[in-house]
């Protein structure tokens, strides 16, 4: 059955039928028809108005990471769209899906100097900004092409390796009425996961794992995206194999599990890096073997491949053997592949070699030493306040179902290394793009995706300064997010390598200070209070726990601004290292 609809109505209706629930952006004349169509579908589409399009993009990114359902971020032509770009690029680099919709000038006036049109090197050039930062970009000039384009975009965003997609729609495509036959929600044929490795590949993997003396598992962000935590844990237990994760894979196995060793790489833990360095067979699940996870691919820090024999599983064939040679590579959905491996091990019913128990015992001792050292940091009474103590107090205050979305920089390293993730998708990080603003702006999407869970945005003062525009939105929508601002009056992740590389004191563009040289700490609690949020500034160790518990328990937005010691840095004693080219 066909019906007559405007192009904008087609898009809004298709979003509803595809299961999209949230739309966020700032309108201009090129998207007003789309906004009007969303207005009529508020029974299914929740509209979120930010103060900067950047929030819409970061919120959409985090919404997908929590719910594994895409959200829509939209913007006006050119300059409005440009404000989306940082968040969209970040999502692309981190393999997070969203649907990006931008408006474009009327087809008949493109290239004539249309208001805000990018038209110097080509007409209607908004899509050029997104190419390289999305899985695909479409420019749609006709209303009768919108249905198929929305469907293709949704499927591409959510299938295979997830990522953002972009639709640039002209004003006339929004406005024109056309005959259309809408598919029902039940017959859309959405992509389903479950692609498996071939039977020969599965058997070869089992042979290698079964006879390994010291097998280990590395779980990356792909394991979290595949929702494979249960299968991962079952395989680790069946093999008696230690599990390390990348920062993006944090939480793929509960970090209080006896076989969980922590994160790998240059800020990795001692037991994780030891396991990865000493294993004879490594099963790598959904990891890019990126610079931070490999200490810039330095031999033995932590990986030695070869002689370690690598089994690599990924949904993206381009990631297999990209740097380290895989003895066995398999393209497939990680959960499905792990299910087959667990079943295969049960059928083989072979007992693990004795050498594994001895090795696990040694790793357990390493883990105990690391935990004892960490506990000293997490319980420190030192003043100025140590960031480790804040991490310890946050872990104690946050319920098990709580969610921490961390921004980047020095503060993030503490969460990545020292904060125990007990559930999958309970600690969100960005490592591909590592864009500042992900934590405070993404918290909006995280809370919208998980309204029943306590959400904490963990953020340094540098990023919070960049992202103050998010706070009015949080207040307007009464989102119960607790912002924890780690305030050290500097870009700590920049200052530390400056000190190491050039000598202490040669700090430019990294320390916040007045022209007179005095440290300048922005009073975020005062700013939040002025915006209508409850807030508290913390300047003593005794105040940390009560302030965090108060914020988490408050069913409204809350900000905790904590003055911390600028000289406190995460331990670099786990066997990884940060590398830069030698100075000539």
- 167-195 pLDDT, tens digit each: 999 999 999 999 999 998 777 755 555 68
Alpha-carbon span 139 to 101, nearest angstrom: 10
Is there a shared CATH topology between the 3-187 domain and the 379-563 domain?
A: yes
Considering only CA atoms, give the Rg of the chain.
Answer: 25
Please state, as a whole number, how many other Cβ atoms lie within 10 Å of the Cβ of residue 243: 29
Question: Residue 358: CB partners within 8 Å, gap ≥ 6?
Answer: none
Question: Residue 42: CB partners within 8 Å, gap ≥ 6?
Answer: none
Identify the helix (H) or strand (E) that includes residue 16: helix 7-17
| pTM score | 0.96
Tokens of 91: 């999502």
Alpha-carbon span 102 to 139, nearest angstrom: 9
pLDDT of residue 578: 85
pLDDT of residue 86: 97
Domain-wise residue ranges, the chain: 3-187, 199-365, 379-563
For domain 199-365, give its CATH number from 3.40.50.1220, 3.40.50.720, 1.10.8.870, 2.10.109.10: 3.40.50.1220
Alpha-carbon span 535 to 388, nearest angstrom: 22
User: Which phi and psi (to 5°) does residue 224 adopt?
Assistant: -70, -45
Q: Which of 298, 229, 230 is nearest to 264 (CA)?
A: 298
Across 124-251, where does the E strand assignment appear?
A: 137-140, 164-170, 177-180, 215-219, 243-245
pLDDT of residue 468: 98
In our burial notation (b when 16+ CB lie closer than 10 A, e otherwise), range 224-240 reads: bbbbbbebbbbbbebbe
Question: Residue 103: CB partners within 8 Å, gap ≥ 6?
Answer: 28, 29, 30, 31, 34, 74, 75, 76, 77, 168, 169, 170, 171, 174
Identify the helix (H) or strand (E) that includes residue 48: strand 46-48
pLDDT of residue 192: 56
Superfamily of domain 379-563: Thiamin diphosphate (ThDP)-binding fold, Pyr/PP domains (3.40.50.970)
Structure-token match 């999305």, residue found = 134
Q: Do 240 and 356 meet the contact criterion of CB atoms below 8 Å apart?
A: yes
pLDDT in tens for each of the 584 residues of the chain?
899 999 999 999 999 999 999 999 999 999 999 999 999 999 999 999 999 999 999 999 999 999 999 999 999 999 999 999 999 999 999 999 999 999 999 999 999 989 999 999 889 999 999 999 999 999 999 999 999 999 999 999 999 999 999 999 999 999 999 999 999 877 775 555 568 888 999 999 999 999 999 999 999 999 999 999 999 999 999 999 999 999 999 999 999 999 999 999 999 999 999 999 999 999 999 999 999 999 999 999 999 999 999 999 999 999 999 999 999 999 999 999 999 999 999 888 666 777 799 999 999 999 999 999 999 999 999 999 999 999 999 999 999 999 999 999 999 999 999 999 999 999 999 999 999 999 999 999 999 999 999 999 999 999 999 999 999 999 999 999 999 999 999 999 999 899 999 999 999 999 999 999 999 999 999 999 999 999 999 999 999 999 999 999 999 999 999 999 998 889 999 999 888 898 88
* C-alpha dist (Å) from residue 137 to 23, 128, 255: 19, 9, 39
Question: Residue 392: CB partners within 8 Å, gap ≥ 6?
Answer: 375, 377, 378, 379, 418
Question: Residue 176: CB partners within 8 Å, gap ≥ 6?
Answer: 6, 7, 142, 143
pLDDT of residue 564: 97
Superfamily of domain 3-187: Thiamin diphosphate (ThDP)-binding fold, Pyr/PP domains (3.40.50.970)
Q: For the packed helices 32-39 and 7-17, what is the interaxial angle rounded to 10 degrees?
A: 50
**Mean pLDDT of all residues in the chain?**
95
Alpha-carbon span 422 to 255, nearest angstrom: 6
């Amino acid at each position: 059955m066909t019906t007559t609809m405007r192009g904008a109505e087609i898009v809004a209706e298709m979003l509803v039928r595809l299961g999209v629930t949230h739309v966020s952006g700032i309108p201009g004349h090129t998207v007003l028809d789309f906004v009007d169509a969303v207005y009529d579908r508020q029974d299914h589409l929740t509209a979120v108005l930010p103060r900067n399009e950047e929030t819409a993009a970061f919120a959409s990114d985090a919404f997908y990471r929590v719910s594994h359902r895409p959200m829509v971020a939209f913007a006006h032509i050119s300059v409005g769209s440009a404000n989306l770009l940082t968040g969209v690029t970040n999502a692309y680099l981190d393999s997070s899906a969203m649907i990006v919709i931008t408006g474009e000038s009327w087809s008949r006036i493109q290239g004539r100097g249309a208001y805000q049109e990018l038209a110097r090197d080509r007409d209607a050039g908004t899509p050029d900004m997104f190419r390289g930062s999305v899985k695909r970009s479409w420019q749609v000039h006709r209303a009768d092409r919108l249905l198929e384009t929305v469907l293709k975009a949704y499927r591409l965003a959510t299938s295979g390796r997830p990522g953002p997609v972009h639709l640039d729609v002209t004003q006339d495509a929004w406005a024109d009425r056309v005959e259309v036959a809408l598919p029902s929600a039940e017959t859309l044929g959405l992509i389903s996961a479950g692609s498996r490795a071939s039977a020969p590949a599965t058997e070869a993997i089992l042979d290698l794992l079964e006879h390994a003396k010291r097998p280990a598992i590395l779980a990356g962000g792909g394991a979290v995206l595949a929702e494979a935590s249960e299968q991962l844990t079952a395989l680790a237990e069946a093999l008696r194999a230690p599990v390390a994760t990348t920062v993006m894979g944090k939480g793929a196995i509960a970090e209080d599990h006896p076989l969980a060793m922590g994160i790998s790489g240059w800020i990795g833990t001692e037991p994780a890096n030891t396991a990865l360095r000493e294993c004879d067979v490594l099963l790598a699940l959904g990891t890019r073997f990126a610079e931070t996870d490999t200490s810039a691919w330095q031999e033995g820090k932590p990986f030695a491949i070869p002689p370690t024999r690598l089994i690599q599983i990924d949904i993206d064939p381009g990631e297999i053997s990209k740097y380290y040679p895989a003895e066995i590579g398999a393209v497939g959905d990680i959960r499905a592949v792990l299910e087959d491996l667990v079943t295969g091990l049960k059928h083989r019913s072979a007992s693990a070699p004795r050498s594994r128990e001895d090795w696990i015992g040694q790793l357990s001792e390493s883990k105990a030493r690391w935990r004892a050292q960490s506990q000293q940091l997490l319980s420190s009474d030192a003043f100025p306040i140590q960031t480790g103590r804040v991490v310890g107090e946050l872990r104690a205050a946050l319920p098990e179902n709580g969610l921490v979305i961390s921004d980047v920089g020095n503060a993030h390293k503490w969460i990545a290394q020292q904060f125990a993730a007990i559930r999958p998708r309970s600690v969100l990080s960005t490592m591909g793009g590592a864009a500042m603003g992900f934590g405070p702006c993404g918290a909006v999407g995280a809370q919208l995706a998980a309204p029943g869970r306590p959400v904490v945005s963990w953020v340094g003062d540098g990023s919070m300064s960049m992202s103050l525009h998010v706070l009015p939105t949080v207040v307007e929508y009464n989102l119960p997010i607790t912002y924890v601002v780690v305030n050290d009056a500097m870009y700590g992740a920049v200052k530390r390598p400056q000190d190491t590389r050039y000598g202490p004191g040669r700090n430019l563009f990294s320390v916040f200070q007045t022209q007179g040289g005095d440290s300048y700490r922005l009073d975020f609690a005062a700013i939040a209070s002025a915006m209508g949020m409850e807030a508290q500034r913390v300047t003593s160790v005794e105040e940390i726990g009560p302030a965090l518990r108060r914020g988490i328990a408050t069913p409204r937005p809350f900000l905790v601004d904590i003055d911390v010691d600028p000289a406190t840095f995460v331990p670099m004693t786990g066997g990884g290292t940060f590398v830069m080219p030698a100075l000539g």
